[in-house]
Structure 1
Amino acid sequence: MPIITTDTLAIAYTDTGPRDGQPVLLIHGWPDDASTWDSVLPALHAAGLRTIVPTLRGFGETRFVDADSPRTGNSAVLAMDMIALMDALDIDRFMIAGHDWGSNTAEALAVGWPDRVERLAMLATPPRLGGMPTPPFAQAQRQWYHWFMATARGAQAVRDDRTGFAHIHWENWAPPGWFDEATFQRVARAFDNPDWVDVTLHSYRARWDEADPDPRSQWLEDKVKATATLSLPAIYIQGAVDGVNPPSASKAVPGKFAGPFAFIELAGVGHFPQRENPNAVARHLIQLFTGNPADLSDTIDRSLLMSKTKPFLAGAAAIAVIAAAAIGVAVTADGRRFVNFPRWTDDAPISVAEVMKDGSLKAYPDAKWNSWRNARASELPVGDYFVCVQSIVPDGHGNLWVLDPGAPGNEKILEGAPKLVKIDLATNRVTKVIKVPLDVALQGTYLNDI
């Protein structure tokens, strides 16, 4: 891994992707390392983005230049490390995504160098703009390790078993089974850095005023506390089942951003979104970094749950021939079987289908209603086609009802697309379309069931 030497550090980093691409700084968190972005990078490069991925002070191959330098780890001094790296690379303006420690480091960069940071993605750790209030008891319980490290005996326990200390957070902060031991052990090598414990202890003690921030960074710490909001285009990515910073801890996040902003919740994801669902993270980062900021909108992304959905079986024939996963299954009183495929990730070739006796799928009620595609979004009237079908329900009176939230990709609801469609099972024809206006189907919500 290349090394760049600044006044303070010898920083290990990678600089990959198109050399003429817009630069994106990707900052890892704790307890993690720079490999956390590995599964996200290919998509960013394919989108034309150049990526700079540093290893933070105290981790991996990054080392202090001076043996007498204080082993500090407050977010403002980490931000100063990052700006020194970008200066050394001769990169003036850039975009940032940061996870955990990297999230608050990215925030500090946006506060300290607003003329250089163009767009911002924060993952899994809320901003500290305006200062950090004492958390409510439930959140303080989740952050037990903060208080543990503030004690002499807790600090010694971390020194005695840094790997075990990190491992328990990987176990507790995301759903069971999300990682394999081989991956963790590879990452844990980064914690063998001789300064990892000291930097870690200082980082957590400083945020609760149990230690002073690095003196060189005091100006930036003060500026973050004095800043109420940021106005640059930004997104916040929240794991719906984050074990340390759950959605309840992020309720105030949208109010910290005065410009274009999206709050993105990833269903089934814990504290490590870029490791747990890298495809979704890459997709949302690309939208932020290459798209129109005006198109940013709050989203609930269910793609991880979709990827785990098992294909519905009809007799011995599997419907797995359909690339998208069926999320809805309905059986009528006379035994007819129907499935639906929402456009949560890729385009679905069929939105609603009847399962025939041989296990094949037949577009229902006809091919026309199932012919809407993402690529033709501007060509077809969304009110006359299935856009993103969430639910199908037979009513016991000879009808199949189809609920279409009209939000392909779990993103922006298309105007005119949300609807409830009634199909006569005897004639296989649509007999009623009940449109749901946008003052009912609000942006950021999702019609889920009938």
Structure 2
Amino acid sequence: MLKFTQAGVLEIEYFDHGSASGDIVLLLHGFPYDVHAFDVVSEILVSKGCRVIIPYLRGYGPTRFLSADTMRSGQQAVLAHDVLAFMDALKISRAVLAGYDWGGRAACILAALWPERVSGLVSVGGYNIHDIPGSIKPQNPENEYRFWYQYYFHTERGRAGLFENRRELCRLLWRLWSPTWEFTDDDFNQTATSFDNPDFVDVVIHSYRHRFGLVPGDPSVEETEQRLTQLPKISVPSIAFDGLDDGVLPLGGSAGHRHFFTGPYDLRAIPGIGHNLPQEAPREFAEAVLSLFPLHGKL
């Protein structure tokens, strides 16, 4: 059922599935995707007795800012604060957080800075917190090539391109990032309506500029951003995924991320799967979530 709540600076629209008394899982989508990436995952988790909550992130779908004066930031700290405010609004003291891309980043930040709110973490791409001070360092040319769209968004041409061609551009990213996933027009169009959000372009452009230190962030979360420069460790039980056909995952994937996790940690690499792992491999993703609730067992 689609619901809404006021949380921090947003009115967040979200799906709430399953038993109100079930173990709580928050599923957090990325760019350029939306809540429908978790349709099958949600069905599996609900069938196992979980309560599954899936919010539209800021700038996506029907989620809206409460004030025209609020900065349309897409930086990593505001994404985490949005989730924290959302949990507070729903009176959720603790939950398993599972996500990828932007959503995985928010989940990692909560697990690192507010571990008392996170009973377990599933993160596609492993440790997904940006090292913004280190972003000036060049990477392997193959990785730089994969990040072309980020450098495009650093320009005003890129902003205009996203504004004018958002569906065509996002569909291209789906194809490049998940080259073995045969998604249909219906799959894409179901999600693409989320890109019509009036704040989508501003939030996306700010996200990709801020992570390289090119624009200032929202002053209200500056303290959190400063804490993130220390690349804080994650202590909660965590499962990381790499899709081995992910067209945007840096070379080597999450193989070198173990030292960021001080608690139980498991890295799972799946061949033939790209960037949108929950939608491409929903059974594996759901099984990882359920493994963080020992009473549910395996599928």
For 1:238 and 1:124, the matched residues in 2 are separated by 6
Alpha carbons 1:107, 1:127 under 8 Å: kept: yes
Find the counterpart in structure 2 of residue 222 from structure 1.
226
Alpha carbons 2:143, 2:251 under 8 Å: kept: no
The alpha carbon displacement at 1:246 in A equals 5.0
Find the counterpart in structure 2 of residue 249 from structure 1.
253
For 1:220 and 1:289, the matched residues in 2 are separated by 29
Find the counterpart in structure 2 of residue 332 from structure 1.
none
Q: Does 1:71 align with 2:72?
A: yes
The alpha carbon displacement at 1:175 in A equals 2.4
Find the counterpart in structure 2 of residue 263 from structure 1.
267
More divergent stretch after superposition (168-177 vs 235-244): 168-177
Alpha carbons 2:241, 2:267 under 8 Å: kept: yes
For 2:236 and 2:181, the matched residues in 1 are separated by 37
For 1:69 and 1:177, the matched residues in 2 are separated by 37
Find the counterpart in structure 2 of residue 199 from structure 1.
203
Find the counterpart in structure 2 of residue 22 from structure 1.
23
Find the counterpart in structure 2 of residue 127 from structure 1.
128
Find the counterpart in structure 1 of residue 213 from structure 2.
209
For 2:259 and 2:227, the matched residues in 1 are separated by 18
Find the counterpart in structure 2 of residue 179 from structure 1.
183
**Residues 334-353 of structure 1 mapped to structure 2, 5 A cutoff:** none
CA gap 1:47/1:192 in 2 versus in 1, 3 angstroms: same
TM-score, normalised with respect to structure 2: 0.93
CA gap 1:72/1:13 in 2 versus in 1, 3 angstroms: same
Q: Does 1:88 align with 2:89?
A: yes
CA gap 1:85/1:91 in 2 versus in 1, 3 angstroms: same
Q: Does 1:39 align with 2:43?
A: no
Higher relative contact order (CA 8 A, sep 6+): 2
The alpha carbon displacement at 1:75 in A equals 1.6
For 1:235 and 1:247, the matched residues in 2 are separated by 19
Q: Does 1:154 align with 2:158?
A: yes
For 1:126 and 1:164, the matched residues in 2 are separated by 30
For 1:52, give the aligned amino acid.
Answer: I
Alpha carbons 1:129, 1:226 under 8 Å: kept: no
Higher helix share: 2
Find the counterpart in structure 2 of residue 445 from structure 1.
none
Percent of residue pairs identical: 36
CA gap 1:112/1:262 in 2 versus in 1, 3 angstroms: same
For 1:219, give the aligned amino acid.
Answer: E
Q: Secondary structure of the residue that 1:289 maps to in structure 2?
A: coil
The alpha carbon displacement at 1:160 in A equals 1.3
For 1:82 and 1:259, the matched residues in 2 are separated by 22
Q: Summarize deviations over 1:313-343 as a string: whole Å, max 9, x none.
A: xxxxxxxxxxxxxxxxxxxxxxxxxxxxxxx
The alpha carbon displacement at 1:7 in A equals 3.7
For 1:123 and 1:257, the matched residues in 2 are separated by 14
Structure number with larger C-alpha Rg: 1
Q: Summarize deviations over 1:117-176 as a string: whole Å, max 9, x none.
A: 111110146422665543322111101111110011121111111111111100101124
Q: Secondary structure of the residue that 1:245 maps to in structure 2?
A: coil
Q: Secondary structure of the residue that 1:237 maps to in structure 2?
A: strand
CA RMSD, 1 decimal: 2.0
Find the counterpart in structure 2 of residue 12 from structure 1.
13
Q: Does 1:99 align with 2:103?
A: no
The alpha carbon displacement at 1:247 in A equals 5.5
For 1:63 and 1:82, the matched residues in 2 are separated by 14
Find the counterpart in structure 1 of residue 112 from structure 2.
111
The alpha carbon displacement at 1:177 in A equals 4.8
CA gap 1:125/1:197 in 2 versus in 1, 3 angstroms: farther
The alpha carbon displacement at 1:278 in A equals 0.8
User: Where do 5+ consecutive residues of structure 1 fail to align?
Assistant: 296-344, 347-450
Q: Does 1:281 align with 2:285?
A: yes
CA gap 1:283/1:6 in 2 versus in 1, 3 angstroms: closer
Find the counterpart in structure 1 of residue 242 from structure 2.
238
CA gap 1:161/1:45 in 2 versus in 1, 3 angstroms: same
